[in-house]
Structure 1
Amino acid sequence: HYWLYGMDSDSCNTVLFSVFADSTINEDTIITFSAYPEALNCQNQPEYCINGDTVNFNFPVVLQYASNNNLNLFPIHFTLHQNYPNPFNPTTTLKYDLTEDSFVDITVYDMLGNVVNNLIKSNQSSGYKSIQWDGTNNQGEPVSAGVYLYKIQSGDFVDTKKMILLK
């Protein structure tokens, strides 16, 4: 997994996004990057650096812009998003972003801190993810209306958010 980062020489805006390479790369290897146009402000051809497990070198990069509809980028920050809809009945969607392959634990708790439902406890690949919760406990029984917490743990990343189930 390699991270491309650098600075636009005209505006000093920082650019950061990632690419995966299946084999060791060298200075003759061509790597294609895509990025959101609004994330970049490159007037000239600035200097960037690729860092990874086996390579560290500087070179000029030509960035080709892709439309937002054709992007397949990996997230650069671990993120747990607010569920939607919220309040919900009978189901809600929990979205989260993984910057790297990791073990993911997403658990729903009641307001007393009791485990209600273990939604995910598995290894997952990096990317933009989502899971639905149908308002049931680990036994498949419907839970009562109220406020619930959902928590993600992935490596060192931990975050918790509230959601409201209406009946």
Structure 2
Amino acid sequence: NVLSEGTNSVLVPVYLTIIEPLATDESLILPEETRLHSAYPNPFNPSTTFRYSLAEKTHVSLIVYDLLGHPVRTLVNQVNPVGEYQLQWNGKNDQGQVIGAGIYFYQMMAQRLIKTHKIILLK
């Protein structure tokens, strides 16, 4: 596109995964405990949503593993403030490849919490 005064604009696609608290208004009730909620839907195809709550600012890791315990996808590996979080996983590994149908586990580590849940990817 050519704009006035001879300047150009170029449109390029940008893909982002943004993890934000579901509620940022401090007047809202904050989580009393850190916990990992069940994924929904489960079983899933092609994507599922993960939710977790943080009772205090802490480093969080949320990783999907295969049945052999190999990491498939690191979804979160950062410090998050207090709040409720959700993110969607598209069934792809860290290299961007679609993974096969089967049973997988997702594990969250935060504070003193280590929690693992099972998910099933259908084809």
TM-score (norm 1): 0.57
1:73 is matched with which residue?
29
Q: CA RMSD in A?
A: 1.3
- How many Å separate the matches in 2 of 1:81 and 1:133? 14
For 1:87, which of 29, 43, 66 is the aligned residue? 43
- How many Å separate the matches in 1 of 2:79 and 2:108? 13
Counterpart code for 2:106? Y
- How many Å separate the matches in 2 of 1:108 and 1:131? 13
Q: Which runs of 4+ in 1 moved over 2 A?
A: none
For 1:147, which of 103, 118, 123 is the aligned residue? 103
Counterpart code for 1:113? G
Q: Unaligned stretches of 5+ in structure 2?
A: 1-26
Deviation at 1:142, TM superposition (A): 0.3
Deviation at 1:78, TM superposition (A): 1.1
Larger radius of gyration: 1
Aligned length: 98
Identity percentage over the alignment? 42
- How many Å separate the matches in 1 of 2:71 and 2:33? 27
- How many Å separate the matches in 2 of 1:146 and 1:82? 17
Question: Does 2:96 correspond to 1:164?
Answer: no
Higher relative contact order (CA 8 A, sep 6+): 2
Deviation at 1:77, TM superposition (A): 1.1
In structure 2, the residue corresponding to 1:158 is in which secondary structure? strand
Question: Does 2:40 correspond to 1:105?
Answer: no
1:123 is matched with which residue?
79
Q: Unaligned stretches of 5+ in structure 1?
A: 1-33, 35-71
Counterpart code for 2:119? M
- How many Å separate the matches in 2 of 1:119 and 1:155? 17
- How many Å separate the matches in 2 of 1:164 and 1:126? 29
TM-score (norm 2): 0.77
